Amino acid sequence: MLILGTDTSGKHGSVALVQCDGERLRTVELVPLQGGTFSAQMIPQIAELLSKHNMSKAEIDGFAVASGPGSFTGLRVGLAAIKALAEVLEKPIAAVSLLEVMAFELRSGGSSDSCQKEREVEHPISKELVGVLVALDAGRNEVYVGEYKIDEDVPACMAESLLAFDELAKRGQEPGRSMFTPDENVITTLSGRGARVFRVPRPNAVSVAGLGYKKILAGLTVSPLELDANYIRRADAEIKTVRKPA
């Protein structure tokens, strides 16, 4: 099964073609996208990637897209591109949270051949690990946090939320509680407040495709009409609109 994975959630994004066969995932290629120009790069990069490997759009069996949390504009651009492609090609879409991807890779230990030296996990992963907290820096002294059970092929989300560092530090001090993040600022801040924090690789389009493949196999897909962003934090414009007096 050929999966096209995309991630446009942050300052930098990526697109990847991943060939999936049973438990083996082979990265055809991972292409970085420069932030701020996703709308201009997305479709041309996908077309170039397919052409480079002598593939056509029709050979794509499914799409995996990072639906959040992250940049409002970046996520909208990425989702719009996948909506259009999936509708035209009539192929399934798996929407994945970046927090969910991190939990998935904790369970799998990194299942694709893209896990090279720069993506090695810097903490010991216990095979008995079931429930985990994963975190991403959200700016403004806040953190995107996901709590997942990872004893199944696809992580089960217990909660995703936006927390202040102080709130998250308290959770990290609970007995037997460990947190995982790719962000240096989160590690430094929480470690300084007594929380137990481990570094993990930052998700990219390959890891998005890996989880998306599992979701497609499990029938956990969405239609182009249903595909939507999971911002966790509301847009400033939305907040201002809600607070506007009548």
Hey, what CATH class is 99-199 in?
Answer: alpha beta
Question: Is pLDDT at 18 greater than 90 in this prediction?
Answer: yes
Long-range Cβ contact pairs of 224-227 (< 8 A, separation 24 or more): 224/82, 224/83, 224/84, 224/86, 224/87, 224/93, 227/65, 227/67, 227/79, 227/82, 227/83, 227/86, 227/93, 227/95
- What pLDDT band is residue 246 in, cutting at 50, 70 and 90? very low
Structurally, at CATH architecture level, domain 2-97+203-243 sits in: 2-Layer Sandwich (3.30)
Which tens digits make up the pLDDT trace of 195-214? 888 999 999 999 999 999 99
Question: Is pLDDT at 244 greater than 60 in this prediction?
Answer: no
Which tens digits make up the pLDDT trace of 33-57? 886 677 778 889 999 999 999 999 9
Which tens digits make up the pLDDT trace of 154-190? 999 999 999 999 999 888 777 767 789 999 999 999 9
- What pLDDT band is residue 236 in, cutting at 50, 70 and 90? very low
Which whole number is the average pLDDT over 80-109?
Answer: 93
Nearest in space to 181 (alpha carbons), one of 134, 220, 228, 222:
134
Q: What is the 3-state secondary structure (H, E, C) of the chain?
A: CEEEEEECCCCCEEEEEEEEECCEEEEEEEEEECCCCHHHHHHHHHHHHHHHCCCCHHHCCEEEEEEECCCHHHHHHHHHHHHHHHHHHCCCEEEEEHHHHHHHHHHHCCCECCCCHHHCCCCCCCCCCCEEEEEEEEECCEEEEEEEECCCCCCEEEEEEEEEHHHHHHHHCCCCCCEEECCHHHHHHHHCCCCCEEECCCCCHHHHHHHHHHHHHCCCCECCCCCCCCCCCCCHHHHHHHHCCC
| First-to-last C-alpha distance (Å) of the chain | 53
pLDDT of residue 120: 40
Span(s) in the chain for CATH 3.30.420.40: 2-97+203-243
pTM attached to this predicted model: 0.86
- What pLDDT band is residue 11 in, cutting at 50, 70 and 90? confident
pLDDT of residue 245: 46
Question: Is pLDDT at 27 greater than 80 in this prediction?
Answer: yes
Instruction: State the CB neighbour count (10 A cutoff) for residue 8.
Output: 29
